[in-house]
Amino acid sequence: METTTTRNDYVNKYPSNLQITSYNFPSTTTTGEVCAGVVKAPGVHAKNAAQHYADLQMLEENEETREVFWNSETQERKEIECARVDGSFDDGPSHCEVQYWWTVRHLVTSCQMTLVTSRNSGASYRNRVELQNGSLALGHAKLFIPSTLNGSCISGGNIDNDLLRKNLDAAINVYISRVNKTPCCAGTVINLYKGADSKAYQEENDFFKIFLKGKKEEREKQKKDHPEKYARAQAIWNLRKRHMRTDVPLKYIFCLSCCYQPDCEHSLCRKGKPTEEPTWYVGGPLLSFLPVPCPDPERCYGSEQCSECNGACYGHYLKLDELWNDVKCCLPSEVILAEYDKHRKEAISMHGILDDNCVQDLAKQTLLSPEEVTMWLSHLNTIAENRKKGAEKAAETRRARKEASKKLIDLPNGDDSEVCDVCKLEDPAEGGEEIVPWVCCDGCSQWSHIVCVGIETELEIPNHWQCFKCSEKWE
């Protein structure tokens, strides 16, 4: 799911950009390639996983795109869903909200496997979705849609949000009427649709965020006031834990596969395990196989006798059929992280830069350039320093609190940087004597207790983390 933006007015004091989420369904043995775009606008449609869920459900129900979800030969719904996304906060496979809604879809559609991966943005020029976005850009290149189709959005000197939404909704209709059926890949056309109404899903999404990351008293109130909604959120999250594969790089891959336990809520699991292990396709590898990229040891970095390269070889990955035989491999990021952890103290003292020999060795193992390896190491060092600051901050606050209690005086009021951005306290209300780690938002640099944002242990702190306020901004 990629995005492309077209400006529908000159400079305004209010958001007036339309955004298209592009869907490219590659051709299979039973269906041809299908290109679709869902047109949305800020204020009218949300930019989050719940909206994507509603959009995908709409595409499945639409006559022009429905065929890609069904097997035309058996007239049954396909039981395997694979999606490659761009990895931003609203669709990245490591984000909890994204995982929640894919789990909902996994359950509702009775999928045998649901696989969500983030694409390599560095190779985006090879991505057919980017070609599709380029075709859309050509399709609307000379199109101008004013944001005042139903009159000015300004009333009494202020922005009238109702008028703005009405105008943006009209702009979406005009855009679709002018750009729909734009020619695209290999003779296909792009079918455009208005973003789905996701109001009910947005309410569930808000409920889930409190269920997962809310304060203890908020969750208890949820459970008391809305027991059915709470039970549903708990059932979905338990299913996610039960079906999620943990033997893959979780930052880049979210994979759900049936457990086939009779007490599972999933309909396929209750039917029992099939007599033969399912495959990706007839005669193909087992469904348990995931083609994670693995460097080819026979065509490694620096080889001068590569049959495919003229001159120096920068390395190759194993081909798909060579990966079938249970090849154990790691993604480049995991290789670099393992080496960084091994030399962590040295890396911190050198500001994240290991010696040249180590960088060159990592470049050979990962098929990355030395400059890219250095960038990764520097990034990992920044994360480590932020975590160290969080631990020191928690320890300092705890010591000050103990000293103040001994002297029977209150702590002086500090600035906002000394309190958690969520609970507005220096220490969690139920923290006891244990030192609670902090986490820093990559967006606004505000600090929060990990327990206040739903992170259970320091080991679970992600490399990239944003608070709710930053993660919900329209970008």
CATH (domain of 444)? 3.30.40.10
Contact by Cβ (8 Å): 108, 77: no
pLDDT, residue 463, reads: 64
Domain contains 244 = yes
Domain contains 115 = yes
Residue 258's CB is within 10 A of a number of other CB atoms, namely: 25
pLDDT, residue 353, reads: 58
pLDDT, residue 109, reads: 94
Last residue of a domain, one of 271, 297, 332: 271
pLDDT, residue 1, reads: 35
Domain contains 253 = yes
Phi and psi of 192, rounded to 5°? -105, 145
pLDDT, residue 9, reads: 41
Domain hosting 443: range is 418-474
pLDDT, residue 114, reads: 92
For tokens 């932020």, the residue is 386
Domain tally, the chain: 2
Element (H, E) at 342: helix 332-342
Please give the DSSP secondary-structure letter assigned to residue 282.
T
Domain contains 289 = no
Domain contains 266 = yes
Contact by Cβ (8 Å): 211, 228: no
Domain contains 312 = no
Global pTM value: 0.71
Last residue of a domain, one of 271, 296, 311: 271
The Cα 440–Cα 382 span in angstroms is 11
Three-state secondary-structure class, residue 432: coil
Task: Give the C-alpha distances (Å, rounded to integers) separating 323 from 86, 144, 277, 316.
Answer: 25, 50, 18, 13
pLDDT, residue 440, reads: 80
pLDDT, residue 192, reads: 96
Last residue of a domain, one of 248, 271, 294: 271
Domain contains 426 = yes
Contact by Cβ (8 Å): 8, 162: no
The Cα 448–Cα 437 span in angstroms is 9
Residue 68's CB is within 10 A of a number of other CB atoms, namely: 20
pLDDT, residue 118, reads: 83
Q: Which residues contact 233 (CB under 8 A, 6 or more apart)?
A: 204, 207, 208, 211, 212
pLDDT, residue 53, reads: 96
Q: Cα angle vertex 276, ends 270, 278, to 5°?
A: 80
For the chain, residues with pLDDT lower than 50 are 1-11, 121-125, 326, 347, 407-416, 472-475
pLDDT, residue 202, reads: 96
